[in-house]
Amino acid sequence: MNYMKTAILLAGMTALFMGIGALIGGQQGMLIALVFAAGMNLFSYWNSDKMVLSMHGAQQADEQTAPELFQVVRELSSRAGLPMPKVYLMDNPQPNAFATGRNPENAAVAATTGLLQMLNKDEIAGVMAHELAHIKNRDTLIMTVTATFAGAISMVTNFGMLFGGNRNNNGIGMIGTIAMMILAPLAAMIVQMAISRTREYAADRMGAEISGQPMALASALNKISGAAHAIPNEDAERNPATAHMFIINPLSGERMDNLFSTHPAVENRIAQLQQIAGEMGATTRMSSAPRVGSVTGPKARPRGPWG
């Protein structure tokens, strides 16, 4: 099913890309866009994860630079029946995390230093389990390819604005180009939204099963959601096409990019986790652990939540 979703996504993004090319440059523009989209499909499959990690300044961590986080991910990966993914840290005060990679054998999880500061060990394990669920469900390929294409679509429409579109009978001219600059990124966003909500619910459920503590994940979502809108994420603001990859929308909401959320309401996600907790016989009391020690950067050793 996930392979089918990926194929549909690639086809939809490719068609949108070709349509933009046709509007800007007529038939020749469409052919150029087709060639470019074919290259984008191939490039995205192999390299989009590296691009996304680079966009957010993620630095790879290991047992020396982040031993406790590395151990948590390793234990959860073993419990989930997954290969150990690469672990990355982002020097960012906003608590957040995402997963990326074309398959479980080539996957990575990334967490911000703010996440390690604000959450306790069980909550961090819940977040990492959620991200591992994305890997197990093979959502990460869909997320990274979508981010790459959405960014490319915005870039191409900006080029269309610079050149004013094709002014012959097959083109759309300046007015059409301006309209396209608004509508094309919106269409790409709608494609992201179409798969995001069910994907997040499914990852919450599987993440709760992997960690065995659904209410720790619920508590983490509550804390991250409250802090994400108060603490700016400058890397995410510069690259809004990657917002759907994070466990909580990292955008401040001050831009048009955040007009439509790619994530379900946190209240609904917590309600589902409460139901799962009841099914598992787990406690429904959210963790109220105090804020833990600080982390100074990606190369610093996380302190606090692991003692």
Residue 14 token pair? 């490719």
Active site residue 131: yes
Exposure pattern of 47-82 as b/e (b: 16+ CB <10 Å)?
ebbebbbebbbbeebeeebbebbbebbeebbeebeb
In whole angstroms, what is the distance from residue 143 CA to residue 152 CA? 14
Helix (H) or strand (E) holding 87: strand 86-90
Q: Decide if 70 contacts 93 (C-beta within 8 A).
A: no
Please enumerate in sequence order all residues whose Cβ is within 8 A of that of 156, keeping only pairs 6 or more positions apart, or say none.
Answer: 17, 20, 21, 24, 33, 184
Residues constituting the chain: 307
In whole angstroms, what is the distance from residue 296 CA to residue 291 CA? 15
Please enumerate in sequence order all residues whose Cβ is within 8 A of that of 45, keeping only pairs 6 or more positions apart, or say none.
Answer: 102, 141, 145
In whole angstroms, what is the distance from residue 99 CA to residue 49 CA? 9
From 105, 131, 209, 267, the catalytic residue: 131
User: Could you count the other beta carbons within 10 Å of the beta carbon of residue 284?
Assistant: 12
The side-by-side arrangement of strands in the sheet containing 107-112 is 58-61, 86-90, 107-112, 97-101
Q: How does DSSP classify residue 231?
A: S
- Sign for the CA dihedral angle at 56, 62, 67, 69 comes to positive
- Give the catalytic positions in this structure: 131
